[in-house]
């Protein structure tokens, strides 16, 4: 149950179902968003999130600026397809 509502979800493999239950329990224990409570994200927001992650990764020297630029360049053709979709 999440927020007093019963959640039904099907899985192809038992291991996936167990992993899902573990992630829900972890979210409850840490006070974070449970997997079934995640909100849909627009392409525009997903793109902004990626750009922020890459910017931070460059600052932390986890990736090079050229890598972040390459990832950003790869987002352009994806935007044409995902522009009207939510995740």
Mean pLDDT in each 10-residue stretch from start to end of the chain (87 residues)? 69 88 82 70 89 94 96 92 81
For residues 73 and 87, what is the distance between their CA atoms, to the nearest angstrom?
A: 21
Are residues 33 and 47 part of one domain? no
> What pLDDT does 59 receive?
96
Domain that holds residue 56: 43-82
**Overall domain count for the chain:** 2
- The whole-number pLDDT of residue 37 equals 66
- Find the DSSP H helices in the chain: 14-30, 43-59, 65-82
Shared-domain flag, residues 47 and 34: no
- Report d(CA 17, CA 74) in Å as an integer: 33
**Domain-located, residue 18:** yes
Taking alpha carbons only, the member of 47, 39, 2, 45 closest to residue 20 is 2
Q: Would you say the pTM of this structure is higher than 0.85? A: no
């Amino acid at each position: 149950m999440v927020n007093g509502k019963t959640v039904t979800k099907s899985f192809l493999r038992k291991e996936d179902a167990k992993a899902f239950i573990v992630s829900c329990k972890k979210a409850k224990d840490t006070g974070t968003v449970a997997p079934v409570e995640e909100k849909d994200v627009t392409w525009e927001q997903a793109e902004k999130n990626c750009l922020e992650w890459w910017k931070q990764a460059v600052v932390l020297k986890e990736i090079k600026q050229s890598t972040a630029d390459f990832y950003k360049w790869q987002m352009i053709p994806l935007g044409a397809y995902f522009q009207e979709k939510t995740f």
